[in-house]
Amino acid sequence: MRRLWLADIHANLPALEAVLADAGDGDEVAFVGDVVGYGPHPAACVDRLARLSPRAVRGNHDSAVLAATGPTAGPGLPLDWDAWSRAELSAGARAYLEALPGVLDLDLGSVAALVTHHPPGAPYLHPDMPDAVLWPHLHAAWPDAPGQAVWVCAHSHRTIDRRLAGRRYVCVPPVGQPRDGDPRAGYAVEIDGVFTFRRVVYDVEATVAAVSRIGLAPAFVARWVRFLRTGWDAEWSRDYPAAVARPTL
């Protein structure tokens, strides 16, 4: 089976369309959460994802947008982005997000896989984390995992593929909000448990223009434009200290 893995679209339609064009046909689509939140195209992205009929889980930003209530105005901002995003969604789009589960079980060839958007407690896991730091999160997510099991998640906006104590941890790269200094859209293709991670150029300036039209505070827009163009932000791109050695389990 050829499966396309998508994650962290974050309402970025040009990035999503570029990924779908680059990926080509497959047997199944798996989505690892956060189709909306902090992006300019929430309604279009929910519609485009739903038409793919993916096996999917809900992300923390999907839940935040659904929970947004009250006026759109927020402290220091002309509007609250989550509240704006919710207002952009139709009742059908909100129902689609609400119906997404938090956990999904899949088979990767002959190997069992658990799919969640993030680990319990929603920490950001990073490629340079020592095994001894990463392992408790892996164990907490699936304490009774069978041998050679694979846990697939997203949320960290990094590409990670690690094996620890007989298990495998895969973090799917983000479609719409890269944080690793590479502004290209990311995704993965998996064939019977073998993952290939890919990045593709998309029309960043189309997304920049759409963000600029929302009505966010000018300083915030300037920060987000830099983020989109560079794939790096002082807050969101911080990594685990690379100098820390990885102890062996």
Over residues 7-57, the pLDDT tens digits come to 999 999 999 999 999 999 999 999 999 999 999 999 999 999 999 999 999
Structure tokens of 213? Answer: 């039209």
Q: What are 191-224's pLDDT values in tens digits?
A: 999 999 999 999 999 999 999 999 888 989 999 9
Pick 44 or 110 by higher pLDDT: 44
User: In terms of pLDDT, which residue wins out, 219 or 98?
Assistant: 98
- Judged against a pLDDT cut of 90, whether residue 69 lies above it is answered with no
Q: Is the pLDDT of residue 147 over 90?
A: no
Give the mean model confidence (pLDDT) for residues 52-63: 98
- The Cα diameter of the chain in Å comes to 52
- Residue 160 C-alpha from the chain's centroid: 13
Q: What is the pLDDT of residue 71?
A: 59
Residue 110 is predicted with a pLDDT of 87
- The residue ranges of every structural domain in the chain are 2-230
Amino acid at 80: D
Task: Name the percent of the chain lying above pLDDT 90.
Answer: 82
Average predicted confidence (pLDDT) for the chain: 92
pLDDT mean over 89-103: 98
173 and 197 in contact (C-beta within 8 Å)? yes
pLDDT tens-place string over residues 230-249: 999 988 898 877 544 433 44
Q: What is the C-alpha separation between 226 and 76, in angstroms, rounded?
A: 20
Architecture field, domain 2-230: 4-Layer Sandwich (3.60)
Give the model's pLDDT for residue 75: 56
Per-residue confidence band for 77, with pLDDT thresholds at 50, 70 and 90: low
Tokens at residue 96, please? Answer: 């689609």
